Amino acid sequence: MSTILVTGATGNVGSRVVADLVAAGVRPRVLIRDTARPVNPWLDDDCVEVAFGDFDDVSSVDAAMSGTDRVFLTSADGPDKVAHESAVIAAAQRTGVERIVKLSAMHARIGSPLPAFDWHGRIELELADSGVPHVLLRPAFFLDNLLMVAPGVAATGHLAAPTAGARAAMIDVRDVAASAAGALMSNRDLRAGYSLTGPESVTFAEVADALGIATGRSVVFDDLTPEEAAPRFAGAGLPPWLAAQLSGAFGVIRDGGFDAVYDGVSELTGRPAHDISSWVHMHAPAFAEPATATTAARQT
Ligand SMILES: NC(=O)c1ccc[n+]([C@@H]2O[C@H](COP(=O)([O-])OP(=O)(O)OC[C@H]3O[C@@H](n4cnc5c(N)ncnc54)[C@H](OP(=O)(O)O)[C@@H]3O)[C@@H](O)[C@H]2O)c1
């Protein structure tokens, strides 16, 4: 059986990739930099092989890569992203890895004004130049991004974003991870890249309605103009690159750039992607009125 190394194994996507591999009977090797932090608190330690290491420490990445056949490549977004993922690609090239499954992004492109899309474009080029066989996963806007505004929705009953009424086929992180696990385990010839989306393209007004149904309260959608939204992004205390990324992502949504639905999730997992109602039901407590959430917590 192949040895699969999961990078970013404590992250939103990577931790779910680990869980999906374990559920499928695979014992992945996981690259972890913090010896005190569990990978997946719900997993038994024996389910994974831990390789302690840091993208900034080449010898630790080399050691983790030794004997590895397939790699899930992801890292935190930020100014070090290209250097971090390049270090993994270089180690994979040295050790003869047979497949890298890289978590990229729809609209990844060198020179994109959205910082993360530019970084992903650079890493994709690095992969192409490396000669290491690879599969690119290019997800649309994550539904899970909505969790950033969940406390505000819970407190006010309003969801606000600059969308100009556009639709987006947002994707559940569970489906991104399951697609990655599928690509890592598959023994078929895979395509060079897969666009990953949810099963339907929805407006944010429809998301607000779905949140209202799931939480049993009214959730109103305020469709802001880009001018109204700009100070909110700038004043949210985010690093400038993240404010630019989020603001730019809503520009892509307004331009219809996330409207198309693709079947990458079902191709890689053999089942349909989760729809919006599945996502909102899972996350309803985060959006519920505080009193409701407290009552629900007391009842469990
Ligand atoms: N949000 C969207 O709408 C969207 C859409 C398309 C694509 N994407 C892409 O999806 C990815 C986000 O994935 P995610 O949410 O899973 O990221 P995440 O939760 O931020 O996870 C980042 C992982 O990288 C690890 N890491 C960071 N620095 C490291 C280092 N120096 N050495 C070793 N490991 C290190 C972190 O470990 P620690 O736990 O130790 O910090 C963590 O496991 C990004 O590439 C993003 O561009 C996002």
Residues 150 and 135 in one domain: no
Cβ 69 vs Cβ 4: under 8 Å: yes
Distances (CA, A) of 219 to 19, 95, 150, 222: 33, 52, 11, 10
Q: How far apart are the first and last CA of the chain?
A: 42
**Strand extents, DSSP E, 29-152:** 29-32, 49-52, 70-73, 99-103, 134-139
Q: How many domains does the chain have?
A: 2
- Reading the block at residue 33, the tokens are 């930099």
* Ligand 1 pocket check for 12: Cβ under 6 Å: yes
Given 97, 123, 139, the domain boundary residue is 139
- Reading the block at residue 187, the tokens are 């023994």
**Distance from the alpha carbon of residue 294 to the mean position of ligand 1, in angstroms:** 31
Residues 127 and 24 in one domain: yes
Reported pTM: 0.96
Residue nearest to atom 13 of ligand 1 (CA): 13
Given 119, 139, 159, the domain boundary residue is 139
Residue 282 forms part of a structural domain? yes
Residue 180 forms part of a structural domain? no
SS3 assignment, position 263: coil
* Ligand 1 pocket check for 186: Cβ under 6 Å: no
Residue 194 forms part of a structural domain? no
Residues 135 and 19 in one domain: yes
Residues 160 and 284 in one domain: yes
Question: How do beta strands 202-203 and 167-168 pair?
Answer: antiparallel
Residues 157 and 91 in one domain: no
Give the pLDDT of the chain (300 residues) as one tens digit per residue: 689 999 999 999 999 999 999 999 999 999 999 877 766 776 777 899 999 999 999 999 999 999 999 999 999 999 999 999 999 999 999 999 999 999 999 999 999 999 999 999 999 999 999 999 999 999 999 999 999 999 999 999 999 999 999 999 999 999 999 999 999 999 999 999 999 999 999 999 999 999 999 999 999 999 999 999 999 988 889 999 999 999 999 999 999 999 999 999 999 999 999 999 999 999 999 999 987 555 544 444
Cβ 263 vs Cβ 200: under 8 Å: no
User: How confident is the model at residue 298, as a pLDDT?
Assistant: 47
Cβ 288 vs Cβ 217: under 8 Å: yes
**Distance from the alpha carbon of residue 216 to the mean position of ligand 1, in angstroms:** 33
Residue 192 forms part of a structural domain? no
Residue nearest to atom 38 of ligand 1 (CA): 10
* Ligand 1 pocket check for 105: Cβ under 6 Å: yes
**Element at 214 (helix H, strand E):** helix 204-215
- Closest atom, ligand 1, to C-alpha of 55: 32
Residues 152 and 293 in one domain: yes
Cβ 203 vs Cβ 167: under 8 Å: yes
* Ligand 1 pocket check for 86: Cβ under 6 Å: no
* Ligand 1 pocket check for 116: Cβ under 6 Å: yes
Residue 181 forms part of a structural domain? no
SS3 assignment, position 195: strand
Residues 250 and 149 in one domain: yes
Residues 161 and 109 in one domain: no
Report the CATH number at residue 205: 3.90.25.10
Residues 126 and 20 in one domain: yes
Using a 10 angstrom Cβ sphere, with 0-12 exposed, 13-18 middle and 19 or more buried, the burial of residue 172 is buried
Residue nearest to atom 12 of ligand 1 (CA): 76
Residue 121 forms part of a structural domain? yes
**Distance from the alpha carbon of residue 77 to the mean position of ligand 1, in angstroms:** 6
Residue 184 forms part of a structural domain? no
Report the CATH number at residue 116: 3.40.50.720
Given 120, 139, 158, the domain boundary residue is 139
Residue 206 forms part of a structural domain? yes
Q: Which domain holds residue 242?
A: 145-167+199-259+271-299
Residue nearest to atom 23 of ligand 1 (CA): 8
Residues 121 and 11 in one domain: yes
Residues 162 and 121 in one domain: no
Alpha-carbon dihedral angle through residues 34, 35, 36, 37, given to the nearest 10 degrees: 50
Residues 12 and 129 in one domain: yes
**Distance from the alpha carbon of residue 14 to the mean position of ligand 1, in angstroms:** 8
Distance CA 93, CA 199 (A): 36
Using a 10 angstrom Cβ sphere, with 0-12 exposed, 13-18 middle and 19 or more buried, the burial of residue 129 is exposed
**Distance from the alpha carbon of residue 188 to the mean position of ligand 1, in angstroms:** 27
